[in-house]
Amino acid sequence: MNLNNKKVLLGLTGGIAIYKIASLIRHLINDHNCDVRVIMTKSAQEFMTPLIFETFTGNKVLTDMFEKDRIVSTRHIDLVSQSDIFLVAPATANIIGKVANGIADDLLSTMLMTSKPENTFFALAMNKNMYHNSFFTKNKESLINNGYNIIEPEKGKLATNIEGEGIGRLASESVIISNLLSMSDKPLKDKNILITGGPTREYLDSVRFISNPSTGKMGIALANSAKKHGGNVKLILGPTSILPPKNIDTTSVISSENMRKAVLEKFDWADIVIMSAAVEDLKPTTKESIKIKKSNIPKTLNFTTTKDILLELGKIKKNQILVGFSVETENKIHNSIEKLKKKNLDYIIVNDPNEKGAAFGGDTNKTTIITKDEKILEKKLMTKNELADEIFKMLI
């Protein structure tokens, strides 16, 4: 695990957290032997001068696309392909918006346009209202879905008393560096990872179905995290309005039976299987191929249970690490340990949708992870992306 001699391009944008970056640079150079080149936006230079970063890095800070004494016009762009890591810290809402929308109107955004998403990191820092802005959220998700690495900000006291507490503080140096390490390390390299996500639909006729509010966000977060850590990833996704990540091999399915078949087909290929899909366990006993007319709707419906995919996988598992998610609203630990044993799982991740921040469809989750030897790990409320990273940290 090291960043030794890595060439790091460090983009600085106009956020107040820029003052913390001098210390980050010292760590990258002194502790990790990195060669750091800094690029500053015009706004970043309103907060600090290039001289500080030139002094720390020993390299000229790049600020302008059109330098007066320039001889070779593509020099800056060449620097991107010659670097191992492109980190933007602090990353403003503005730079996220630009990259997500293909805008290249200054040196940093132009250089980012030529960088490989998997080598590019954005350490977010902003006011909590900017962080919750729906355009920003959409832009951030677009970057994640295109394979870029997002280092989420932390909760805590924000820059001014008026802003108060909230999410938006730049992640700590150790979190930023461990994100860079996980990329250079690629601990899931050569591992095949199969992930399920989203709900399933069990049809009563050609238009009506039983389902649940799962959106697939957890499955997508897991797939992105596995990819980021170097894994070969296949995602099997139930019906959802969220677009699956472009860089991940995704099979879309509708019913629990479709999901079962797709999972069984890929099970032998997988080293790690994480079943985060909310597979419907009820289905109508009969299904009409046309829409039942309102006048013919039966007064009562008969249901049967769908096949338990995890139970089946637990029986046929060879060397795979098998991880299940469980939704429990009462006796959650006891019931989940029962499931873990019965289904021969290696880990079970328990959500209680009644807990604050753990509801279906949200961006956060509050879970308890139970291991095969019944260790109970209470996790704090965190984003689904953070939880996905925590899960892989545990599995690697």
Ligand X SMILES: Cc1cc2nc3c(=O)[nH]c(=O)nc-3n(C[C@H](O)[C@H](O)[C@H](O)COP(=O)(O)O)c2cc1C
Q: Which residues are catalytic?
A: 212
Among 39, 95, 112, 171, binds ligand X (CB under 6 A): 95
CB of 173 to ligand X, least distance (A): 17
Considering the rule CB under 6 A, would residue 44 count as an interface residue with ligand X? yes
The position carrying tokens 């690629």 is 186
Which CB, 100 or 126, lies closer to ligand X? 126
Which CB, 13 or 211, lies closer to ligand X? 13
How many Å apart are CA 318 and CA 236, to the nearest integer?
A: 21
Helix (H) or strand (E) holding 237: strand 232-237
Q: Which of 213, 305, 301 is nearest to 257 (CA)?
A: 305
Which CB, 105 or 330, lies closer to ligand X? 105
Helix (H) or strand (E) holding 38: strand 35-40
Residue 282: other Cβ atoms inside 10 A = 14
Decide if 249 contacts 270 (C-beta within 8 A).
no
Convert residues 4-43 into a mask of x (bound to ligand X by CB under 6 A) and - (unbound): ---------xxxxx-----------------------x-x
Which CB, 16 or 359, lies closer to ligand X? 16
CB of 141 to ligand X, least distance (A): 17
Query: Which window, 56-64, 88-96, 175-183, 313-321, contacts ligand X (CB under 6 A)?
Result: 88-96
Among 3, 89, 93, 150, binds ligand X (CB under 6 A): 93
CB of 13 to ligand X, least distance (A): 3
CB of 93 to ligand X, least distance (A): 4
DSSP bridge pairs for 159: none
Q: How many residues bind ligand X (CB under 6 A)?
A: 15
Q: Which two tokens stand for residue 192?
A: 């095949």
Between the two ends of the chain, the Cα-to-Cα distance in Å is 13
Q: Which of 78, 44, 47 is nearest to 63 (CA)?
A: 44
Decide if 373 contacts 206 (C-beta within 8 A).
no
CB of 21 to ligand X, least distance (A): 12
Residue 210 carries which side chain, given as an amino acid letter?
Answer: I
Convert residues 108-137 into a mask of x (bound to ligand X by CB under 6 A) and - (unbound): -----------------xx---x-------
Which CB, 25 or 89, lies closer to ligand X? 89
C-alpha distances (whole Å) from 289 to each of 178, 275, 302 are 53, 30, 17
How many Å apart are CA 206 and CA 221, to the nearest integer?
A: 31
Binding site for ligand X (CB under 6 A): 13-17, 41, 43-44, 92-95, 125-126, 130
